[in-house]
Amino acid sequence: MVLEKVESVATVPRIRSYVYNLDEQMEGGIPKGFVVLVCGRPGSMKSSLTYFMMHMQALKEGRRGVYFTLEQNRASFARHLSHIGLDPDASDRVTILDVSALRRTFGDRGPKGDTNWLEAIVSQAASFKSQYECEIVAIDSMSALYSLHEFQNPRRELFHFFEGLRALDVTIFLISEMFDPTKEIFARYEVEDFLADAVIHLKVDRRDGGSNLYLGIVKMRETRHSRDYFPLIVEPEGFEIVPH
C-alpha cells in the first residue's frame, strides 16, 4: 500500500522550472496542470521569473505558452526581458498577449459594458488553447485583473475562477503582488493561496543599501519540497538558486 502511494507520487508528470538547482528542491518540477501563485513585492522579478520558465519550456521541450499582460504593454515587457537576456523572439512558442492594448483601445468595460473579466480571461485562455495548443498560461497580474472586476463575493467568485482555470488542464502561473511590507499576505483576498495548488514566494531583502532576492516554495501539493528560502541569482545564462 505504501509502495503504491510512493510510486503514484513519483510518476506525477512535472514541468521543469529550469531555474538552476530549484527543480531538485521539488521532486523535479511543478506538477503539470497546477495553478501556481507567483507572489512578491514590486521589483521581486515575478514576471521575469515566470516568463523565464515559460521561455525555457518552449526552447527545451517545445511547450507552447501564452502570457497575458494586463497592464504592462507588450513592447515594454519585451524590452525588459531583453535587458535580462531573454529574447522573446528566440521562440515563437510563447505568445505575449497584450490585454492592456485591448483595454486602451476598447475600454475596460468590454463591448457590452458588462464584461466579467474573471470569466473572460478564462474563456480567452480556453480559446487560445483550443486554437494554438498551449500547455502553459500566465496571467500578469492578479491585481490588474481585480481592478477590472467588481466583486460581490470574492471568496465565492475566486473559487469558481480557480476551478475554471484548473479545468483548462494546462499549467497556470498567476502573478500576485504583495503590498503590505509588514505581513506575509500572498494575495489581496487571502484565499488565493488556499485555492492555488502551489505558491512560490519571491522576497526582496533590502538592507545596507543593497538588495538581495530570495525564493521560497511556500506550498506545492503532491510534492515533498523544501520550505527554506534560497538566494536567487539572475545571471545572463538564466536564474539560479543557491542551496544551503
Identify the three-state secondary structure at position 57: helix
Nearer to another protein, 131 or 182 (CB): 131
Establish if 17 lies at the interface with another protein (CB under 8 A): no
Nearer to another protein, 47 or 95 (CB): 95
Establish if 128 lies at the interface with another protein (CB under 8 A): yes
Establish if 120 lies at the interface with another protein (CB under 8 A): yes
Establish if 115 lies at the interface with another protein (CB under 8 A): yes
Strand partners, 177: 40
- Which residues ranging from 25 to 84 are in contact with another protein (CB under 8 A)? 74
Closest Cα to residue 189, out of 178, 173, 205?
178
**Binding test (CB under 8 A) with another protein, winner from 6, 9, 90, 101:** 101
Please confirm whether the linkage preceding 141 is cis (ω < 30° from 0): yes
Nearer to another protein, 132 or 151 (CB): 132
**Binding test (CB under 8 A) with another protein, winner from 127, 147, 211, 212:** 127
Establish if 92 lies at the interface with another protein (CB under 8 A): yes
Report in angstroms the alpha-carbon separations of 118 from 17, 65, 109, 168, 237: 27, 19, 12, 14, 36
**Binding test (CB under 8 A) with another protein, winner from 76, 130, 147, 211:** 130
Establish if 8 lies at the interface with another protein (CB under 8 A): no
Cell of 98: 497584450
d(CA 145, CA 140): 8
**Residue-level length of the chain:** 244
d(CA 139, CA 227): 25
SS3 labels along 1-42: CHHHHHHHHHCCCEECCCCECCHHHHCCCEECCCEEEEEECC
Establish if 113 lies at the interface with another protein (CB under 8 A): no
Number of residues lying near another protein (CB under 8 A): 25
**Binding test (CB under 8 A) with another protein, winner from 21, 72, 124, 143:** 124
117-132 and 154-167 helices cross at what angle (nearest 10)?
0
Shortest Å distance, C-beta 100 to another protein: 9
**Binding test (CB under 8 A) with another protein, winner from 62, 132, 184, 235:** 132
Establish if 88 lies at the interface with another protein (CB under 8 A): yes
Residues that bind another protein (CB under 8 A): 74, 88-89, 92, 95-99, 101-102, 105-106, 110-111, 115, 120-121, 123-124, 127-128, 130-132
